Amino acid sequence: MTRITRFRAGVLAAAVGAALSAAPAWAGTYDLTVDRVRIDTGAFTRTGIGYNGASPGPVLRFREGEDVTINVTNNLDQWTSVHWHGLILPYQQDGVPGVSFEGIAPGQTFTYRFPIVQAGTYWFHSHSGFQEADGAYGAIVIEPATREPFRYDRDYVVQLTDAHPHPGSRIMRNLKMMPDYYNRQQRTLFDFLGDAADEGLGAALSDRADWGGMRMMPTDVEDVQGFTPLMNGKGPEGNWTALFEPGERVRLRFINSSAMAYFDIRIPGLKMTVVQADGQNVQPVTVDELRIAVAETYDVIVRPTEDRAYSILAESVGRTAMARGTLAPREGMEAEVPALREPPRLTMADMGMAHGGMDHGSMGHGATAGDSHVMPDGTMMQGMDHGAAGDAAAGTHVMPNGSVMAGAAHAGMGSDSGTHTMPDGSVMEGMAHGGHRAAPADRFYAPGSGLTPVVADGGRFLSYADLKAQKPLYPERAPTREIELRLTGNMERYIWSFDGVKHEDAEPIRLQYGERVRFTFVNETMMTHPMHLHGMWSILDTGNGAWNPAKHVVSVPPGTTVAMEVEVDAPGRWVFHCHLAYHMEAGMMREVIVEGGPEGTAVDLGAGHGHGHARGAGG
């Protein structure tokens, strides 16, 4: 019996109230209260929501094999919920109002009960409204039943978030009213004049027309700016500090609990050895910097040998803010905090379009009139030769990093609809996708992309392609079918969706227990989306075959195609969504129903009448 099969045996037994085949050695009871709290970032103070009187909430420490009972008392005047992000458990305990349970009413206590069938670093948060964005989050550390394959002397949780002076509900209203409301890096007339001087007036005008036609701008890297990044609840001036003795191995458990912010993490003067991704052991890889998507976790080990302080830096991907802490031999020590680096800019390459002639022939799109391209507003973009469909016949697709993906022909004339959804959500005729296939390529950090940071002195930046499982959770086998999900959106109207359909208008995705499904994400938007499937592991295709890593979040950059596979071994009702809080609330979410399974695990299809609703932000 494989390890994951044993995991599922425990989960299914709990789901139907049966005894585990091997009784756990211990059981624990934990108590959480959901409270109004005061959040002080050092830059501003505001009322938020937390657990046990604080934000972030307590670090919950479990042991693999434990049966946990968690009593959650709602001290708010609104409904709430707690979702155990990344934990494998019965769907009735997943904590999604309207899907797995009704929610927790004001003044009431709800008791969660489930077995702990895994180890590693995870987190918990509200799945109701914008409570998570307003501070309702905490960390989970699960001690393994057996010895870990790496050594360390000290162990610290480093939980990051993007605290904003505006409450989540106000942020959403502002984004719907004016999508660039929080974009503080918009290009100005002086930028245009600079571009004209550098590139020539014609090229500068053409570039502005290209972006205008797509209803977006190169600065659309972060939807929401103006936040203060926190590290374990402290702003940059709060200087959260972790202590060490020179020569010790220090484990840092990074958790990104932000509503919207990706962070690039580095510790100048120290290399980081990544040993876990999303709670699962990976073959160690040593890097100078890593990017953590919203809702991801990474465990790293560092070994400071000098008797001095080191800065722990988490810089937002848009270079608008930086969380900061310190690793030091003694309290009160500080290290240099560098200035924010140059902000990145999206390029046409990030959108799958190469400037300098805009040759799309290798994309296999059908030709448009002459060398022009019809944009969503009906205007013509010059110099975009899509070529004939001849390259599509070769079964290749040029990715934003310039690499060629085999077997990914778009077959410009092979679709029934003959249409293509543009980044703003509008439909362009004559650009149909054909048989997309995911690339087992290093597509997270594309060389030459405006989204790729430059590491000083030629250092190494972690890529998804670097992640290899320490021990595969499942035997490798071919998927039984493939489901393509197009990530679509309209920045101008601030609508986000799968396949152009918002959550409330979409039918559930239905899976059959026991099958292995390959999900292929085709990102047709200008934003990076961290995709999270509840209840089951996502085996990310990094090109490492049987050693592809198991994750609970898969980040999909603009203009890319990314694939993952799922062993469908969890009966129940789950959700699948972008973990950017305001994208989820705007519609980028689907319900997933797993049918079949062992006797006694029937799915209750009538559970969907909860308060706070499943699409409440912060899944």
What is the tens place of the pLDDT at every residue in 393-404? 333 333 333 333
pLDDT digits (tens, 9 = 90+) for 321-335: 999 999 999 999 999
For residue 20, being part of any structural domain is answered with yes
Domain range holding 10? 3-149
Locate the DSSP E strands across 5-150.
27-40, 45-51, 60-63, 67-74, 83-85, 109-115, 120-125, 137-143
Instruction: Check: CB of residue 441 under 8 Å from CB of residue 393.
Output: no
Classified as helix, coil or strand, 205 is helix
The predicted pLDDT at position 384 comes to 33
Predicted pLDDT at 597: 83
pLDDT of residue 182: 53
Q: Is residue 568 part of a domain?
A: no
Contacts for 426 with CB less than 8 Å, ≥ 6 apart: 376, 377, 490
Q: Residue 505: is it exposed, middle or buried by C-beta count within 10 angstroms (0-12/13-18/19+)?
A: exposed
| Structural domain includes residue 450 | no
Look up the CATH number of the domain holding residue 61.
Answer: 2.60.40.420
Distant-in-sequence, close-in-space partners of 294: CB < 8 Å, separation ≥ 6: 256, 258, 259, 260, 261, 262, 530, 553, 579, 580
Q: What is the pLDDT of residue 99?
A: 96
Give the ranges where 326-379 is alpha helix by DSSP (H): none
**How does pLDDT run across 26-69, given as a tens digit for each residue?**
779 999 999 999 999 999 999 999 999 999 999 999 999 999 99
**Residue 30: inside a domain, yes or no?**
yes
Residue 118 belongs to a domain: yes
320's CB contacts (< 8 A; 6+ apart) are 184, 185, 222, 225, 226, 227, 340, 343
The answer to whether position 116 is within a domain reads yes
Q: Token pair for residue 340? A: 């924010």
* Structure confidence at residue 107 (pLDDT): 98
Q: How many domains would you assign to the chain?
A: 1
Q: What is the pLDDT of residue 429?
A: 32
Spans of the chain below 70 pLDDT: 1-25, 178-179, 181-198, 203-220, 345-454, 456, 600-619
Task: Round to whole Å and give the CA distance between 21 and 118.
Answer: 16
Q: Is residue 267 part of a domain?
A: no
